[in-house]
Structures are given as C-alpha cells and as structure tokens.
Amino acid sequence: MDIRTRRPLAAAAVSISLLMVTAACSWSDTPAVGAGGGGTLNVAGPIPIENLDPHGAASMDGGTQLAARAIFSPLVTATGPGKFKGDLATKWAPNEDATKWTFTLREGVKYSDGTPVTAQEVVASFERVLAAKGPLAGNFGGYSVDAPDKKTVVFTSKTPDAAFLGKITSFFVTPEKAEKKGFFQKPVGSGPYKVSSFEPGQALKLKPNADYWDGKPDLNNVVFKSIPEVSARMTALKTGEVDVTWGMPDDQIAQLKSDTNLSVDAVPSPGVNTMWMNSGTPALKKADVRRALWQAVDFKSIVESLYPETGSLADSVVSPVVLGYAKQQPVKYDPAAAKAALKKAGFDFGTKLRFQYSQPQFRQFVEAVASDLKKAGVKVDPVEKEQAVFLEDLLAMKWDINIQQIGSQGFDAATNLGRLYPCAAKRTGYCNKELDKDLAAAGASTDVAERKKLYAKATKTIWDDAVGMYPMFVEQPYSWRKTVKGLKLAPDGMPTFADVKVSE
C-alpha cells in the first residue's frame, strides 16, 4: 500500500514539470514578439483568422478576407463608390450589355516564391471559387472564365452584370499549386506580405514580400493576433501589446480616447442596421402599418445613447459610401401619430410580433426598440437566436421583425438591393413588380449615372413602403498607437498594411 501510493505523487510531479516547460516557452515568447525590432506591427482585429483559403467556405469571412488582402492579389480594389484601382489588372472593360468583362493583366507580377503570375492561374482560381460553391461563388452564378492570351482574362456571364467590378474585388488569385493538400496552411501569394507562420484562429505572422510589384513594404513583421474578448483587446492596445485594432464597441471608445498614446477615428462603413418587417405576416401586410411602427420608435435617442461614437441616424437603405445611395426623407418619431395610424389601418394590437436577432451586440438595441413599440401598444417578443437557427428561420420567413447589419459588397447597391429585394429573393416577404424591373435594369446597365438614378428610384420605393426600418448608418472605428504611421482606415473593416510604417 505504501509503495503504491507513491505513484500518483510521481505523476503529479511530472505534471508540474510539464506545466513549467510549456509555461517557460510561452513566457519567453511574448517579449520577443512585443519588442521585435523597429518594424513589427501587431494587429488584432475583431474577427479571428481561421482559414487562409480565399475561395472556399470562409471566402467571405472577415478574417479570411483580411488575411487575403495581405497575402494575395485581387484583380482590382475598390477605392470608393463606383471607383476602382487596378492591382493584378491594369485595364478592364465590359462589353455593351455587361455580359463580358475583359481584364488586361499587369506584366511581371511574381508570387513571393519568385514564379510569375499567369492568366491561366487567374482562370484556375476563379474556377476553384465556382467549384467550392462557397459564399463567394454566390456572386458569380452563371459565370464562366477564359484566358484568350497570356495577359488577358475574360469573364462571361449569362445575364448582364454591371456590378461585376464590385464583386470581383473579393476575388484573389492563387498559384497553381493551391490545389495541393495543405497549401493554405502556409500559402504563397503575390500580395505585399508572405506567410511565415499560421496558427488558425490564433496568430498569423507575415514577412514583407520582396518581390511585391508595388514595392517591398517597410515593415519587417506583421503579426495578426486573435483576441476575441473586447476588454482584453482594449487592454492589449493600451499596454502596447497590440498596435492597431478596429470594430470596438462604443462603450470602449471613450476610454481609448482618453489615452494619449492612442489615436481614435472612425470612417463611414457600408453597413446599415436593417430591420426588415415581414410583409408576409398578416399584421404587417399594409405599408401603412409598417410605416407607423417605424414612426413609433425613437431611433434618434436610441442611436445617440447606444452608439454615440459609431452610429448616425440613417437616411437611406444603403450607406453613403455605396454606389446607389440616395438620400430619403427621414421618418420622424411621433408616437401619437403612429398609434393613430395603426388604429386607422386596422392593426390588430393583440398580435405579438416576433423580433429575431442573433448577435448579442444587437441585444440592447432590440430591447430599446421593443420598449418603444410597447409604449405604442404593440406587443413585441424579442428572440435571440443562435446564428444557424436565425439563418434557418430567416430563410423560412419564421419571423415578423428582424435586425441585421447589412453591408454592400464591393460598395455597390447591386449586392444589397439587387440581391435581397426582388420578389424572387423571398427575403423580406415584400414583392413589387415595378421594383423588380428597376433593380434588374440597374444591375444590367453599364451607365453609372443611369444606375444611380434607378437605384434612387428603387430606394424610394423600399423606403416609402417601409419594407424594413432603416435606423442607423454604421461607422467603422479604428484605434492605433501613435507610433503607427500611414494607416488607411478601410470602410469595410479590412485594412491593408502595405504602406504602414512603425516609428519607435
């Protein structure tokens, strides 16, 4: 008995030493990262980087897109609503009915391993996107691609697609060997940086790409860290463990502003807090009812109290940074008029409206809206759902009111209005043949002025018929240490770091 009992003690001793070893390794690791010479930029965005494959399941994931912008090259990048800058491509043009898009590739672009980027690889990458059937592929239904010569790539669509440029900004070109197993564990690309190590969901370490076509970046290292916990991320920024972050909640921003080592700023983003009202629900069938509900909520107070830093009262369905934005007449808060209008429209005050949302960030917003609606005599049942359940119910129309932040990919209203509001989309319960016609025409025209006009008309219809409530434009807040120079604040929360410098 006496001898036997020693075993567990010995085991415990082993455990302790094991622990010390791991602890010791990690401990020495931290300062090395923090003080790694003059040129290290530590980045911690709000979304972890879990997968470096820009074509597959995570292709539209914030983390993957962020990493892709550093590692790979797109054909073009968006610089503003309807404005683009060439990256891999130097020239591009649609045919007359926007069914064919022809790109001329930049010459002499190489991957970080020294091999040249070919037109065939652009084709292969695009076909890889289509084959993956992931979220990015959804933008390119009915597309095919071809490389008639070494420097030309042609994308052909079955239907006219004027918004193709905006959509193709999310597409990145990978080398031929991307097909190989394990390639995306340490991928090779033609972007400003190359991967030195990648721990999914935890850290991505990058080195500058000496062969980058636009000049080797100044930084010696870029480290993306994953710190999902907001307060931890803020602490890391204050202690200097992290140099740049963004997407902070409003309640944290005031604190950051008081820190003299930090700069804080925000840029308008394509995001709009959108609260669709299910027009298929009997109680919400009438536009008068939907408008009255909108009128019954004091969005001005809610936005000012909950989002003093990053929110502003919306005056359109898409944000001002998006092509197709058109200012609308704001809906004024007037509970008395709302109540009267509801009565007049024969609204059934006995109905309990299911108000669904999935992200906890909306909880306070939803509660405040529900509170205002209750004051107008409208019963609302706020339901927080797990993301998968939320999506399933969203598509199955098992909801009455719904809140999401909706952006416009590529800063083009086609990816928002054009995709979500036609009758066929079956997303809002609202169906208007006239609107369908306008949206289709706007998506097919290559004339930007014409498109703007059509989207303005469509926006007015959506706004006046109150397909949803559109309470808030979202700004993207950034905070960085003052040692960081040359940071460009990306409206979509996916900044690039090619031109950033760090002074110690």
Q: Are 48 and 63 in contact (CB under 8 A)?
A: yes
Site for other proteins contains 12 (CB under 8 A): yes
Tokens 């669509």 map to which residue?
Answer: 157
Q: Which residues contact 133 (CB under 8 A, 6 or more apart)?
A: none
CB of 488 to other proteins, least distance (A): 27
DSSP labels, 118-172: -HHHHHHHHHHHHHHT-TTGGGGTTEEEEEEETTEEEEEESS--TTHHHHHTT-E
Cα separation, 311 vs 475, whole angstroms:
6
Site for other proteins contains 251 (CB under 8 A): yes
Contacts with other proteins in 306-335 (CB under 8 A)? 306
Site for other proteins contains 228 (CB under 8 A): yes
CB of 119 to other proteins, least distance (A): 25
Site for other proteins contains 29 (CB under 8 A): yes
- Closer residue to other proteins, CB minimum distance, 341 or 369: 369
Q: Count Cα neighbours of 15 within 13 Å in the Cβ-side half-sphere.
A: 6
User: Using alpha carbons only, how large is the chain's radius of gyration in Å?
Assistant: 25
Site for other proteins contains 258 (CB under 8 A): no
DSSP labels, 410-458: GGBGGGTHHHHSSGGG-SSS---HHHHHHHHHHHH---HHHHHHHHHHH
CB of 27 to other proteins, least distance (A): 5
Q: Count Cα neighbours of 263 within 13 Å in the Cβ-side half-sphere.
A: 14
CB of 55 to other proteins, least distance (A): 9
CB of 466 to other proteins, least distance (A): 20
Q: Which residues contact 178 (CB under 8 A, 6 or more apart)?
A: 53, 55, 124, 125, 128, 184, 187
Maximum alpha-carbon separation in the chain = 91
- Closer residue to other proteins, CB minimum distance, 182 or 350: 182
- Closer residue to other proteins, CB minimum distance, 105 or 178: 178
Q: Are 131 and 193 in contact (CB under 8 A)?
A: no
Q: Are 418 and 98 in contact (CB under 8 A)?
A: no
CB of 65 to other proteins, least distance (A): 13
Among 159, 196, 197, 235, binds other proteins (CB under 8 A): 235
Site for other proteins contains 425 (CB under 8 A): yes
Residue 415 phi/psi, 5-degree rounding, is -80, -10
Q: Which of these ranges, 152-160, 231-239, 282-290, 324-332, lies near other proteins under the rule CB under 8 A?
A: 231-239
Site for other proteins contains 301 (CB under 8 A): yes
Among 19, 35, 336, 337, binds other proteins (CB under 8 A): 19
Among 104, 118, 220, 255, binds other proteins (CB under 8 A): 255
Residue 441 phi/psi, 5-degree rounding, is -65, -40
CB of 202 to other proteins, least distance (A): 6
Closest CA to 187 of 195, 170, 200: 195
- Closer residue to other proteins, CB minimum distance, 393 or 465: 393
- The site map against other proteins for 48-87 (x = CB under 8 A) is --xx-x--xxx-x---------------------------
Rama region for 24: left / alpha / beta (φ>0; ψ in -120 to 50; rest) = alpha
Q: Which of these ranges, 47-55, 76-84, 207-215, 484-492, lies near other proteins under the rule CB under 8 A?
A: 47-55
Site for other proteins contains 367 (CB under 8 A): yes
Site for other proteins contains 35 (CB under 8 A): no
Among 89, 394, 456, 462, binds other proteins (CB under 8 A): 394
Q: Which residues contact 433 (CB under 8 A, 6 or more apart)?
A: 423
Site for other proteins contains 371 (CB under 8 A): yes
CB of 374 to other proteins, least distance (A): 6
β-strand 152-157 against 468-481: which pairing, if any?
A: unpaired
Site for other proteins contains 2 (CB under 8 A): yes
Among 10, 26, 32, 108, binds other proteins (CB under 8 A): 26
Site for other proteins contains 22 (CB under 8 A): yes
Length of the chain, in residues: 504
Among 363, 437, 485, 488, binds other proteins (CB under 8 A): 363
Among 95, 120, 202, 261, binds other proteins (CB under 8 A): 202
Joined together, the tokens standing for residue 114 give: 């020294």
Among 226, 245, 278, 428, binds other proteins (CB under 8 A): 226
Contacts with other proteins in 179-198 (CB under 8 A)? 182, 184-185
Among 98, 119, 137, 487, binds other proteins (CB under 8 A): 137
Site for other proteins contains 438 (CB under 8 A): no
